[in-house]
Each structure stands twice: as structure tokens, then as C-alpha cells.
Amino acid sequence: MKSGKAVGPDDIPVEVWKCLGEAAAEFLTGLFNRVLESERMPEEWRRMMDQLSEEDRQESPWTMMFADDIVIWSESREQVEENLERWRFALERRGMKVSRSKTEYMTILARIKGKVYRTVVRPAMLYGLETVSLRKRQESELEVAELKMLRFSLGVTRLDRIRNEYIRGTAHVGRLGDNVREARLRWFGHVQRRESEYIGRRMLDMELQGRRQRGRPKRRYMDGINEDMKLVGASVEDAEDRDRWREMIRCGDP
């Protein structure tokens, strides 16, 4: 903490905390621990934060505060600078100063956006689909939803007439249908390597007695698995070797 800085709403100069040393640190640690244990912010703190951000509060959470740091999000540098000026004006009216020398402009690369999508969004979309045999229409609907999210994250729309392959390549994201196939085959191989008494293996090998109804037969799980294995050139026997199986079925992200 630098000496001579303007005091905050508590009117306590920074020199006081520096003189108190470890005693001040122990006091503040105990205070914050009690607040955390109570799971309730003191009203004085709430009022102070409301006063500091009164003139710059927005409905969307584009601004976040961390201790004495402020993170401002926006879709362009011009909007960031405009919001920063509003914050500077609001804070300086109350005796606080924004350090221009410490201000940094940061951007998120397209591949980082793709990585966030692969690790956060897509697992939620694919949850449980390794045990489902999707129809072509269902798979197509999932891919449409995926491309909408990727375009939005990259700041483009269909009106820009950018090909889907370019969108996926920019974000380093493979086709969702390929990822579904890989997850389905990975799960099938896992079940195949289990002992014959395993409930999943027994259900997979079970054959029901009787005749199927007239008309077009419903798509079964093994129908999808057989199609998947044909596409990647694998067989049921290949599933016994875990490493070889993983290598054969890999068809997801670049």
C-alpha cells in the first residue's frame, strides 16, 4: 500500500494500517472470517458498494469487482473506454482514483473461446448421449444449436455467409455428430471390456423373445453402434484392447 493515497468511505488513512502491521492483518482476517461464517454481508458494506456503483450499475453483469480491481467487459474497445470513463468519474467524486498506468486491455482469442465451449458447454449438451442412438434429425438439431453458439461467441451471424467449416476451424471445434459417435463407441468399448456378470454387459447382450411390430422398425442402440463401427472401420473384437480402441474411434476435435 502506497502512502498518501486518498482515503475511502471509511475515512481511515492507509498509513494507519501500515503502522498497525500484523495487528491490523489479524484484525481484518478475523473480521472477514466472521463475515464469511455468518454468510451475510454487513449492511454498512452493502451500502458502501451501492454508493460506489450507484451511477454505473447496469442490468447485465458486464462489470465485476475484485478487492481493489475492476474488470469491465464489452464487445468493443470503444465501449470499454466509455464505461471506464463513467467508473472514473463516479469513483473520483468520492475521493478514489483509477490508476491509468495499471489499466490493461485484454481480448479472448477464438481458440480460447472454443476451448471454453469444449470444456463447459458441450459436455452439458452431450450428457448421457453415449447410451442413446440418435436419429439423423436429432443429431442435425444439436449441430444447429452448436453452430448458433459458436457464431455468437465469434461475433458473426448467418448473414455474414461464413461457412460452417470455417467457424469450426477458427474455434478448433469438430462436428458435434463426430463427438457423439466417439462418446458412444467409447462407452460401448468400456462395457465390452467388463466381466460378463456386469449389469451393463448383460443388458447389452440380452435378446428379447418375440416378434417386432409391423412397419418400419424402431432404431435400436446396437443399430447405431454397428453403423458407428462401420464408419471408423472397427469391430467388436477391437474393443478388447483399450488403447487401440481409443485410437480407432477418435474422430472429434482437431
Question: Does residue 195 form part of some domain?
Answer: yes
**Do 251 and 178 touch, CB atoms closer than 8 A?**
yes
- Clarify whether residues 74 and 114 are in a common domain: no
Residue-number span of the structural domain to which 100 is assigned = 55-106
Query: pLDDT tens, 10-68?
Result: 677 777 777 877 887 888 888 888 877 887 777 777 777 666 666 655 554 555 555 56
Question: Does residue 135 form part of some domain?
Answer: yes
Question: Does residue 212 form part of some domain?
Answer: no
- Domain boundary (65, 85, 106) is at 106
- Clarify whether residues 36 and 97 are in a common domain: no
**Do 133 and 224 touch, CB atoms closer than 8 A?**
yes
- Clarify whether residues 123 and 5 are in a common domain: no
Number of domains into which the chain is organized: 3
- pTM here is 0.59
Question: Does residue 48 form part of some domain?
Answer: no
- Clarify whether residues 64 and 141 are in a common domain: no
Range from 44-58, 76-90, 141-155 carrying the lowest mean pLDDT: 44-58
| pLDDT of res. 150 | 92
| pLDDT of res. 59 | 55
- Clarify whether residues 185 and 69 are in a common domain: no
Question: What is the average per-residue pLDDT within 206-226?
Answer: 82
- Clarify whether residues 92 and 123 are in a common domain: no
